[in-house]
Amino acid sequence: MDFMKPETRSALMAQIRSKNTKPEMLVRRLVHGMGLRYRLHRKDLPGKPDIVLPKWKAVIFVNGCFWHQHPSDTCRASAIPTSRREYWVPKLARTVARDAENVAALEALGWRVLVLWECELRDEGALKADIESFLRVHQTLPET
């Protein structure tokens, strides 16, 4: 049972952004601070990746745990709401399926894909190490 009026809930949901979210901005600042230059939300790539690193032919998606259903047993943010499950289950399942299709399409085009989850961004040191190891596979990174 939702405790908000439908109009209030609608207004709240309308404020949720798909670009320039706090988690995305945190990753962008970190990547820029590592001396890497990137492009944002390239419309010519499947899924319009959040961060595109053309030099490394790599993309980074910064996914919200709820909206993209983080497949982790320890992530509480990915819990499906108990009310209106007939609405939420198919909606979130479509998002997960679309994400998988986009990753497969990018990999088929020769792009490497890193998916970062919102709940994993708390440890900035580990996040930086993940990004560095992801990019070091093919090329050296600039000294930071």
Residue 8 pLDDT: 76
Residue 55 pLDDT: 92
In a domain, 141, yes or no: no
Q: Is the pTM of this model over 0.85?
A: no
Evaluate if residue 13 carries a pLDDT over 70.
no
CATH number of the domain within which 82 lies:
3.40.960.10
Instruction: Provide the β-strand partners of residue 59.
Output: 52, 113
In a domain, 5, yes or no: no
In a domain, 144, yes or no: no
In a domain, 49, yes or no: yes
In a domain, 7, yes or no: no
Do the Cβ atoms of 118 and 63 come closer than 8 Å?
A: yes
Residue 73 pLDDT: 85
In a domain, 80, yes or no: yes
pLDDT tens for each residue of 47-99:
999 999 999 999 999 999 998 999 988 888 888 888 889 998 999 999 999 99
Number of independent structural domains in the chain: 1
- Boundaries of domain holding 104: 18-136
Residue 107 pLDDT: 97
Token pair belonging to 18? 């798909």
Residue 91 pLDDT: 93
What is the Cα–Cα distance from 61 to 53, expressed in whole angstroms?
11
Q: How far out from the chain centre does Cα 50 lie?
A: 7
What is the Cα–Cα distance from 137 to 111, expressed in whole angstroms?
13
In a domain, 142, yes or no: no
In a domain, 78, yes or no: yes
pLDDT band at 2 (very low <50, low <70, confident <90, very high): low
